[in-house]
């Protein structure tokens, strides 16, 4: 219980341990823990950011999907319209073609009629002469009555 040199010895030991702690323990542990804190903070921040990114991506995906749906609907709509148009066009074309064919047919018929008439007209004189010969019992000189015959043919 006496105060003696021990008090100074203890002081020196104390100081040496504090210095050891100052040099080898405290800064190392502080560094490790600060580094870990930093890493945890970074990790949390990253997680936060990832969450936000995910949300953003989901939103974007939704938007893209919606756009795609709209586009698809648009395309279907357009296709329908185009189909209707094509049908209309086809109908119109058919009608026009039919009319054209009809007109051609009518022309053909006209032509046939007129050609038949021409042919008939050519033969009228011969027929008339043959008929008259039968009636008169003589030969009719075609040259003598040519003017009358031509007149008949034109009247025909």
Partner 1 sequence: MASESEALTATGYIQHHLQNMTFGKLPAGYHRHNADGTETVLEKATWTLAHTSEEAAAMGFNAVHLDTLGWSLALGILFCFIFGRAAKRASIDKPTGLQSFVELVFEFVNKIVIDTFHYKNRLVGPMALTIFVWVFLMNFMDLVPVDWLPTLAMKISGDDHLFFKVVPTTDPNATLGMAFTVFMLMIIFSVKEKGLLGFIKELTCHPFFAPKKFWYANFFLVPANTLLETVALIAKPISLGLRLFGNLYAGEMIFILIALIFSGMAFSSFTAAGFASFFAGSVNVIYWLFALVVIVMTLWLNLKGKLSSGKAYLLLLIELLFIGGLSLLGGGLAHFGWLVLHVLVITIQALVFTVLTTVYMAMAHAKHDEEH
Helical segments of 2-25, H only: 6-20
- The CB-based long-range contact list for 147-151 (8 Å cut-off, 24+ gap) reads 149/124, 149/125, 150/125
d(CA 144, CA 156): 20
- Is 7 or 136 the residue whose CB approaches partner 1 more closely? 7
Residue 144 contacts partner 1 per CB under 8 A: no
d(CA 117, CA 88): 43
Of 74, 152, 143, 146, which is closest to residue 120 (Cα–Cα)? 152
Residue 46 contacts partner 1 per CB under 8 A: no
Residue 142 contacts partner 1 per CB under 8 A: no
- Contact between 136 and 109 under an 8 Å Cβ cutoff? The reply is no
Residue 24 contacts partner 1 per CB under 8 A: yes
CB of 15 to partner 1, least distance (A): 6
- Is 2 or 147 the residue whose CB approaches partner 1 more closely? 2
Residue 44 contacts partner 1 per CB under 8 A: no
- Is 3 or 136 the residue whose CB approaches partner 1 more closely? 3
Binding site for partner 1 (CB under 8 A): 1-11, 13-18, 20-22, 24-26, 28-30, 32-33, 35-36, 39
């Amino acid at each position: 219980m006496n105060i003696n040199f021990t008090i100074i010895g203890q002081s020196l030991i104390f100081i040496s341990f504090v210095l050891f702690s100052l040099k080898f323990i405290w800064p190392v542990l502080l560094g490790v823990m600060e580094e870990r804190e930093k890493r945890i903070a970074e990790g949390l921040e990253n997680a936060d950011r990832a969450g936000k990114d995910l949300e953003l991506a989901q939103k974007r995906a939704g938007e893209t999907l919606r756009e795609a749906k709209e586009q698809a609907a648009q395309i279907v709509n357009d296709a329908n319209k185009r189909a209707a148009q094509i049908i209309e066009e086809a109908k119109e074309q058919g009608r026009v073609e039919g009319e054209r064919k009809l007109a051609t047919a009518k022309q053909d018929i006209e032509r046939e009629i007129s050609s038949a008439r021409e042919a008939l007209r050519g033969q009228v004189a011969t027929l008339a002469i043959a008929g008259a010969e039968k009636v008169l019992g003589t030969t009719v000189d075609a040259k003598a009555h040519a003017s009358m015959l031509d007149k008949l043919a034109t009247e025909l």
